[in-house]
Amino acid sequence: MMADDDKKPKEEVEQLVYDFKCSSCAMEEKAHYKGKNPPFSRNLSLKYPSYVMKDPFSPPGKGEILVLGSDCSVCGISICINKECSFFYLKMYCIPCALNLNETFPIEVKSKLLQIKK
Ligand SMILES: [Zn+2]
Ligand SMILES: [Zn+2]
């Protein structure tokens, strides 16, 4: 009996969908947002602009999100958050770019990176 309808903003805003594809491992997923403050998750802001998808397993209205990946801050390719594909130090890097910049990173970051590389 409650007039619940006017409380809910209708989702008429056009949903942009990005085809996210990791350039490194070829993981493909639909992203609903790219940036730092996903509109469907209120109390969350990300450290860097990311491709974000709504968590399909999260109950509606919960605003759970999955971060898929990001763009490399150097070469701009899309990379997923898999640690074999991307490296985060202040910015997001793809592994080849991170390795290129290796010498400019602090020693502890560098050793972390070299562990990933194997
Ligand atoms: Zn990947
Ligand atoms: Zn790169």
Is residue 2, in this structure, part of any structural domain at all?
Answer: no
> Is 25 contained in some domain?
yes
45 CA to middle of ligand 2, Å?
23
* Domain housing 63: 18-117
Distance 12 CA to ligand 1 centre (A): 32
Q: Is residue 77 part of a domain?
A: yes
Question: For residue range 93-118, what is the model confidence (pLDDT) as tens digits?
Answer: 999 999 999 999 999 999 999 887 65
What percent of the chain lies above the pLDDT cut of 70?
Answer: 85
The pLDDT, as a whole number, for residue 39 is 85
Question: CA 35, CA 46: separation in Å to the nearest integer?
Answer: 8
Number of structural domains the chain divides into = 1
Residue 4 lies in a domain: no
Find out whether 62 and 76 touch, Cβ atoms under 8 Å. Answer: no
Best CA proximity match to 87, nearest among 108, 66, 116: 116
Cα of 56 vs centre of ligand 2, distance in Å, is 29
What is the Å distance from ligand 2's center to 12 Cα?
36
Ligand located closest to 93 CA: 2
Tens place of pLDDT per residue across the chain (118 aa):
554 555 555 555 566 789 999 999 999 999 999 999 988 877 778 989 999 998 878 777 777 889 999 999 999 999 999 999 999 999 999 999 999 999 999 999 999 998 876 5
